[in-house]
């Protein structure tokens, strides 16, 4: 059988621990036999990041800007324990944070839906994709403990020295204080990434803030979205038969629960943090959640939403077989290959991605799965497989389709 040819390389970002092991198995068993794979390889494993003073992370993000599509394995974000474990020169920053800052992108997370893994919300039939604004608000806030009575003010000093003041509160006693900010440029990038992704995936876009209470801060988010939508996207959305819908955050939460799913829910930073955990849990499993970083210029970086599954890796190192779920990592590969196929006009690559995803879903729906799914499935007597056997089962399904 002739392998599918590629014209432009994918940016391949290798990673850490159990997901690094799965990475190789997935490539060997599910990709390389079928695709004449072209990648530009960057090793984002912690050892090599440390050796290159984390330059490799920056280079991989620059390459993503150059080629447009990347696929990333989960990576360790170092903490104190990792400093000793890997004898690190520095506590390197989160690679995802570094890549996101360079691409100025928004992260979209969506669950993979299969029969037998039922959402806790019984009317959810289609995926709900959460788009989280990844800059500012409470995550970049300045905070103060107020010891006692006194006056708190917001002061903005312009470059020419002029001051604008706004009273926050006349404290009669002790309290707390917080100053948040965001940037027009960042909100615009967020809006464009969301509108582009909605067009890309042909799904409605919902956005919600608390603009009735926050008449300047949240209202600015609402206004920027509306202005960009009206000017740049209204016609495109109508032509695609999709809708942009704005509402208050509390109304959105109520509607989401009553909905069937099948749309993108754009959230401010904090709302996205909290709601993505709720939506992920309600859909059944973190190991079935995909994630894609989309820049306003239309660069894409695909990955699994979960981490490096450290506990399983230590078992693997002891020579034990683990039943780590490779599905979200496989879908990172299919997402990236499909996008590469779309951009380069290679129909076979898109079809390959569709078929491999279908093979994953069919394998699970036929009752063969990893342990994390077996313990929550409604299917009778599932066969629990270790990662290697599960990947082989997916290959068998693929070849029988």
Smallest gap from Cβ 317 to ligand NAP, in A, equals 15
Please report, as residue ranges, which positions from 69 to 88 form the binding site for ligand NAP (by CB under 6 A).
74-77
d(C-alpha 192, C-alpha 122), whole Å: 32
Out of 310, 348, 361, 384, name the contact with ligand NAP by CB under 6 A: 310
Cβ atoms of 362 and 397 closer than 8 Å: yes
Partner touching 311 among ligand NAP, Mg ion, none, CB below 5 to 8 Å by kind: ligand NAP
Partner touching 152 among Mg ion, ligand NAP, none, CB below 5 to 8 Å by kind: none
**Position 273 contacts Mg ion (CB under 5 A):** yes
Rg of the Cα atoms in the chain:
23
User: Which part of the chain contacts Mg ion (CB under 5 A), choosing from 14-22, 43-51, 207-215, 277-285?
Assistant: 277-285
Give me the 353-372 binding string for ligand NAP, x by CB under 6 A, dash otherwise. -------------------x
Decide whether 98 or 325 has the Cβ nearer to ligand NAP.
325
Q: Encoding tokens for residue 262?
A: 């099948």
**Position 324 contacts ligand NAP (CB under 6 A):** yes
Three-state helix/strand/coil letters over the chain:
CCCEECCCCEEEEECCHHHHHHHHHHHHHHHCCCEECCEEEEECCHHHHHHCCCHHHHHHHHHHHHHCEEEECCCCCCCHHHHHHCCCCCCCCCHHHHHHHHHCCEEEEEECCCCCCCCCCCCCCCCEEEEECCCCHHHHCEEEEECCCEEEEEEEECCCCCEEEEEEEEECCCEEEEECCCCHHHHHHHHHHHHHHHHHHCCEEEEEECCCCCCCHHHHHHHHHHHHHHHHHHHHHHHHCCCEEEEEHHHHHHHHHHCCCCEEEEECHHHHHHHHHHHHHHCCCHHHEEEEEECCCCCEEEEECCCCCHHHHHHHHCCCCCCCCCHHHHHHHHHHHHHHHHHHCCHHHHHHHHHHHHHHHHHHHCCEECHHHHCCCCCCCCEECCHHHHHHHHHHHHHHC
Out of 286, 343, 358, 361, name the contact with ligand NAP by CB under 6 A: 286
User: Which part of the chain contacts ligand NAP (CB under 6 A), choosing from 116-124, 237-245, 302-310, 388-396?
Assistant: 302-310
Smallest gap from Cβ 311 to Mg ion, in A, equals 20
Partner touching 336 among Mg ion, ligand NAP, none, CB below 5 to 8 Å by kind: none
Decide whether 130 or 379 has the Cβ nearer to Mg ion.
130
Decide whether 58 or 286 has the Cβ nearer to ligand NAP.
286
Decide whether 79 or 400 has the Cβ nearer to ligand NAP.
79
User: Which part of the chain contacts ligand NAP (CB under 6 A), choosing from 155-163, 222-230, 255-263, 306-314?
Assistant: 306-314
Partner touching 273 among ligand NAP, Mg ion, none, CB below 5 to 8 Å by kind: Mg ion
Nearest-CB residue for ligand NAP? 307
Length reported for the chain: 401
Please report, as residue ranges, which positions from 86 to 125 form the binding site for ligand NAP (by CB under 6 A).
96
Partner touching 340 among ligand NAP, Mg ion, none, CB below 5 to 8 Å by kind: none
**Position 134 contacts ligand NAP (CB under 6 A):** no
Smallest gap from Cβ 134 to ligand NAP, in A, equals 13
| Binding stretches for ligand NAP (CB under 6 A) | 74-77, 96, 286-287, 303, 306-311, 324-325, 372
| Binding stretches for Mg ion (CB under 5 A) | 273, 277
């Amino acid at each position: 059988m002739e392998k599918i040819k590629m014209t432009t390389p994918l940016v391949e970002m290798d990673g850490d621990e159990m997901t690094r092991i799965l990475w190789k198995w997935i490539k060997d068993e599910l990709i390389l036999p079928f695709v004449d794979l072209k990648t530009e390889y960057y090793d984002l494993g912690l050892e090599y990041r440390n050796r290159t003073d984390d330059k490799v992370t920056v280079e991989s993000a620059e390459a993503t800007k150059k080629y447009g599509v990347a696929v990333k394995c989960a990576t360790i974000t170092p903490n104190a324990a990792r400093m000793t474990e890997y004898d690190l020169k520095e506590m390197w920053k989160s690679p995802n944070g570094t890549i996101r800052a360079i691409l100025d992108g928004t992260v979209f997370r969506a669950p993979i839906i299969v029969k037998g893994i039922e959402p806790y919300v019984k009317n959810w039939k289609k995926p709900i994709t959460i788009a989280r604004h990844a800059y500012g608000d409470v995550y970049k806030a300045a905070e103060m403990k107020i010891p006692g009575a006194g006056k708190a003010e917001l002061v903005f000093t312009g470059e020419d020295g002029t001051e604008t003041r706004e009273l926050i509160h006349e404290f009669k006693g002790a309290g707390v204080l917080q100053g948040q900010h965001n940037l027009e440029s960042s909100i615009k990038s967020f809006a464009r990434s969301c509108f582009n992704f909605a067009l890309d995936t042909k799904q409605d876009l919902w956005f919600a803030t608390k603009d009735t209470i926050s008449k300047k801060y949240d209202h600015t988010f609402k206004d920027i979205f509306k202005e960009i939508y009206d000017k740049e996207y209204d016609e495109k959305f109508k032509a695609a038969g999709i809708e942009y819908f704005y509402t208050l955050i509390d109304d959105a939460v109520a509607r989401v629960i009553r909905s069937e799913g099948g749309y993108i829910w754009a959230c401010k930073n904090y709302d996205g943090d909290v709601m993505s955990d709720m939506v992920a849990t309600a859909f059944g499993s973190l190991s079935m959640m995909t994630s894609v970083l989309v820049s306003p210029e239309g660069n894409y970086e695909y990955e699994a939403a979960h981490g490096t599954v450290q506990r399983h890796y230590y078992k693997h190192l002891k020579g034990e077989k683990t039943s780590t779920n490779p599905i979200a990592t496989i879908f990172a590969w299919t997402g990236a290959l499909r996008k590469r196929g779309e951009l380069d006009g290679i129909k076979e690559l898109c079809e390959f991605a569709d078929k491999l995803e279908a093979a994953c879903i069919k394998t699970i729906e036929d009752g063969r799965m990893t342990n994390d799914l077996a313990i929550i499935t409604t299917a009778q007597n599932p066969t629990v497989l270790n990662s290697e056997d599960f990947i082989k089962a997916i290959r068998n399904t693929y070849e029988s389709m």
